[in-house]
Amino acid sequence: METAKTMKLGGNARVADIAEAAGVSIGTVSKVINGRRGVSLATRERVEKVLTAIGYEKPLVSTKTNQTIEFVVPSLENNGSFELVRELTYEAQSELIGVTVNRIRSGDDPKQHFASILDRNPLGVVLLLSDNVAKERKLLASRDVPCIVINPVRRLADDTMTIDIDNWSGGILATRHLIDLGHTRIGAITGPVDISSSIARAAGYENALKRAGITPDPSLMVRGNYLSDTSYAAACKLLDMKNRPTAIFAFNDLSAVSLYKAAGERGIKIPEELSVVGFDDVFPAQYLSPELTTVNQPFRAIARKAIEMILESRSGTLEEHTAILPTHLVVRGSTTVPPRS
């Protein structure tokens, strides 16, 4: 019945005629033609079927939403990006959604990358550790492509969809664990000083020390950048102190790996002479020797939440623009009581 009615419309059909043939409102037809959100997949396909049948001149590829999620990262390293790619892919499969990975390195012009993303007209875009890409997010919004920022680098506009973890509590968990073991001289290898996750972890670290009656020592907090080389230099600085710390909280697992290397070069045994706690719980944390005690990021829950928010945004049912997910401590073999001497 619908096909027969559709075929009678002809190439000069009005929007109202298309709406009647598809059994939807004029506004819904307009949304489909202009690639706007707020239309279910089934309804969109029904309208597009009518448009195809009447020979609508505008290429449908520009109005049809591609059932993929574009994942945009600044780097692909063991800093959580691999885990999120894996978990996003796993969670997306259950919704019959694909995942495309885009790497925008520091110094790249993001305009070209986002132009390609818009040409593909994805279901949504997920940005990891995104810096200031306000123009690109505004461009996505103008085409009604949902955009979610995971672990935002800085505070963003209130209407931005974001997913973060409780970094402050994670910093407390890591530091309190070391304090409970009896450590009082606890070092820290931070992330970049201007990134919100590192700032929050540092605040949690200092808060736990103060609660235990330990005055934070600025010399024991050495700046890293979540990457290997800088974190290795920070580890060397801490371990070469005359009165070196008996425990160190590395603000991500990649920094902890660098700390293992520096300790091994100096003949410092972990955990007998140095306890180490990381953050992320990514490979190779549980394959180090000893296995790394670390704060777990719930990567699967983050991926699931990102997909849910994109789908809810598409359907017009999104209620909360922000989500903060909990962390928990995974105790393994890299921490113990401090050495007697």
Kindly tell me the burial class for residue 290, based on how many C-beta atoms sit within 10 Å of its own C-beta (0-12, 13-18, 19 or more): middle
The answer for residues whose C-beta is within 8 angstroms of residue 214's C-beta and 6 or more apart is 179, 184, 186
Rounded to an integer, the average pLDDT of 275-299 is 96
Structural domain for 155, as ranges: 66-165+299-326
Do residues 77 and 46 share a domain?
no
Q: What residue type is 18 in one-letter code?
A: I
Do residues 182 and 274 share a domain?
yes
Do residues 106 and 224 share a domain?
no
**pLDDT tens-digit series, residues 212-266:** 999 999 999 999 988 888 999 999 999 999 999 999 999 999 999 999 999 999 9
182: domain CATH number is: 3.40.50.2300
- Tell me how crowded residue 307 is: count the other CB atoms within 10 A of its CB: 23
**% of the chain with per-residue pLDDT over 70:** 90
Instruction: Judge whether 334 lies within some domain.
Output: no
Do residues 157 and 218 share a domain?
no
pLDDT at 49: 84
Most confident of the following: 28-32, 46-50, 131-135, 227-231: 227-231
Kindly tell me the burial class for residue 215, based on how many C-beta atoms sit within 10 Å of its own C-beta (0-12, 13-18, 19 or more): exposed
pLDDT at 129: 64
**pLDDT tens-digit series, residues 6-42:** 434 555 677 888 888 888 988 888 877 776 656 776 7
The span from the CA of 221 to the CA of 267, in Å, is: 22
pTM of the predicted model, to two decimals? 0.79
Number of compact structural domains in the chain: 3
pLDDT at 58: 55
Do residues 35 and 102 share a domain?
no
Do residues 261 and 182 share a domain?
yes
pLDDT at 238: 98
Do residues 287 and 210 share a domain?
yes
What phi, psi does 137 have (nearest 5°)? -65, -35
**pLDDT tens-digit series, residues 74-118:** 777 666 788 999 999 999 998 899 999 988 877 777 777 888 888
Picking from 195, 255, 199, the residue whose alpha carbon sits closest to that of residue 224 is 255
Do residues 232 and 136 share a domain?
no
- Lowest mean per-residue pLDDT among 87-91, 224-228, 294-298, 323-327: 224-228
Check if the beta carbon of residue 178 is closer than 8 Å to that of residue 333.
no
- Check residues 208 and 106 and name the one with the higher pLDDT: 208
Instruction: Judge whether 49 lies within some domain.
Output: yes
Do residues 155 and 177 share a domain?
no
Do residues 50 and 75 share a domain?
no
SS3 call for 170: helix
Do residues 33 and 88 share a domain?
no
**pLDDT tens-digit series, residues 59-76:** 444 457 889 999 998 777
